[in-house]
Structure 1
């Protein structure tokens, strides 16, 4: 594809929005014609994000008067609950554009699960029929065919990339999963919160949403789907004092007769042709420093000293592969564009 597609970014003033603009302005098939940020409406982008100064981007505006039919794609970076309302409005008003949603509003296929985890009814549950779960490496066919693409949360992206092939191959006991996860403070959003202040987050590692993090629902939904079981996942996230990056450590019970070598073989087979997933050589430890600023996820598998157990570790950049980069990857798939377009950045070091 050679032509430019008209794109809107809703919620352009957050960290995810900033990274989507950073990546998207160099994408040969994207022309950002609309950028919304209600609290900053009327401002040039560089006033909100100085690092985007000198980039040809439209002024920030409110979302009230957008002509949706003039757009080819809408990237939605709004909070949950807000996102579903505006997506419902778009779908009811026009047959175009496609929607790449980075909120949680279309990730859970069961409306009852959405209410249980997010505390409110879905305003338009029928939209789930035209929504695809946007874990690119595992759902390309649906991403190509559906109008709404629900990008996974950052924690599920890392965890599911690491575990879905193993669960699908029946190598691990999916009813005994323990996931220890750590993310940089950008994962908490750009709003003012006491626990992300430099004086409080700096020099401090802290767990949060213990036993109740909303991303747990995605893990249980997707792993349960490939294993054919209703499961409960032990998932504990932590806030780590760095701006971006995410690392998950999965403690696994092997199925009888299976080994760490079996896990490695399945991961390597599944991802050998994937441009953004890399299974590291034996013994090499994944780290967030390997992937910072890139759309890459690195994985490795290790034998536990406890017989019959294994440890799988995955790392990604929560703002790129965990959010904006994955949104662009899904955009490429949805529009028949070479999947790596606009996403070939080498990780930053140091």
Structure 2
């Protein structure tokens, strides 16, 4: 298969290329970059020389629809929504790593993202690509809205408890921590070395655009409106996300029963690991991989559940999950091209 990556010069794009380069069902890879058109990819990423040494192209729906089977959008918000309707009409399958198609309510998108929402018809076609939860819908999709990084870690951490009605939905508090690569490759004072190094800071309290995405899927799962308290932090590391999730248990439940429930829930999901025996996952344990590692703690004294969920924000939180969905869309084993072990230390 031939694929195109729109926005290929950013961190999400280069991670897509790292995995797709080794994918047995991918032949040609085109890279589209508005800001870097006609430049050599290896001039931007010299470590790719002799592997992916191509010239980046400008965007053309006609050229893409004629020569590729699948398009990955690794672009900022408010880009893919402009190109997607034409691509969908041309029959090309699309996987969008931005947030343009994650929120089904156009008004909610415009409130949280500050841009005009995608057109209603294309938005209706988009399938939310939280793979482990929406696998059957992904199989039939032409347009995938790949989840955000924080929502991926958070929702995978919460789903077993929510599905089994073990947690008070009005009590959910999410403490999120991310590495600097989550801010993208563009220059920003927020991730300037002098301000990042030996420093940890909270940001966008009550205003992070992943909040409505988390609430949308929780509400769909629970069949009632759910709101959460989410506080993101940026920490001095390159990759990784850790979400520590708290909630009141709605019933008495032992530690062993909770461990068993989580392990059983994800027993058929190859990229979710559930840790027991008092081992709590670290971001280093999923570094560079498509795995999500989870551990749960039942505090019988306070009757609260704590869930620790970690992912690599650029892989399971973005490009890896996109390729996992690509595999499912085309009937491949979902592990294809993704079975790289984490890098440690």
TM-score by length of 2: 0.96
Deviation string, structure 1 residues 293-315 (Cα, Å, up to 9, x no partner): 01011000113374210211011
Query: Superposition RMSD on alpha carbons, in Å?
Result: 1.3
> Is 1:165 aligned to residue 160 of structure 2?
yes
Give the one of 201, 220, 226 matched to 2:221: 226
Secondary structure of the residue aligned to 1:17 is helix
Separation of aligned partners in 1, 2:259 and 2:48: 41
Give the one of 267, 270, 277 matched to 1:272: 267
Separation of aligned partners in 2, 1:57 and 1:130: 35
> Is 1:213 aligned to residue 226 of structure 2?
no
Give the one of 11, 26, 45 matched to 1:49: 45
Give the one of 85, 101, 109 matched to 2:104: 109
Segments of structure 1 that go 5 or more residues without pairing to the other structure are none
The answer to which of 268-277 and 255-264 deviates more is 255-264
Change (3 A) 1:56 1:18: closer
> Is 1:58 aligned to residue 17 of structure 2?
no
- Measure how far apart 1:232 and its partner are: 1.0
> Is 1:319 aligned to residue 314 of structure 2?
yes
Separation of aligned partners in 2, 1:260 and 1:170: 16
CA contact (8 A) 1:154 1:323 kept: yes
Instruction: Report what 1:89 is aligned to.
Output: 86
Separation of aligned partners in 2, 1:46 and 1:57: 5
Give the one of 238, 243, 258 matched to 1:243: 238
Secondary structure of the residue aligned to 1:237 is strand
Matching of residues 246-325 of structure 1 within 5 Å:
246-304=241-299, 306-325=301-320
Separation of aligned partners in 1, 2:300 and 2:236: 30
Instruction: Report what 1:8 is aligned to.
Output: 4
* Number of equivalences: 344
Instruction: Report what 1:80 is aligned to.
Output: 77
The answer to which of 137-146 and 263-272 deviates more is 263-272
- Measure how far apart 1:229 and its partner are: 1.3
CA contact (8 A) 1:32 1:57 kept: no
CA contact (8 A) 2:248 2:304 kept: yes
Separation of aligned partners in 2, 1:99 and 1:287: 33
The answer to which of 54-63 and 64-73 deviates more is 64-73
Instruction: Report what 1:99 is aligned to.
Output: 94
- Measure how far apart 1:57 and its partner are: 4.5
Change (3 A) 1:33 1:24: closer
Separation of aligned partners in 2, 1:262 and 1:229: 26
The answer to which of 63-72 and 267-276 deviates more is 63-72
- Measure how far apart 1:274 and its partner are: 1.4
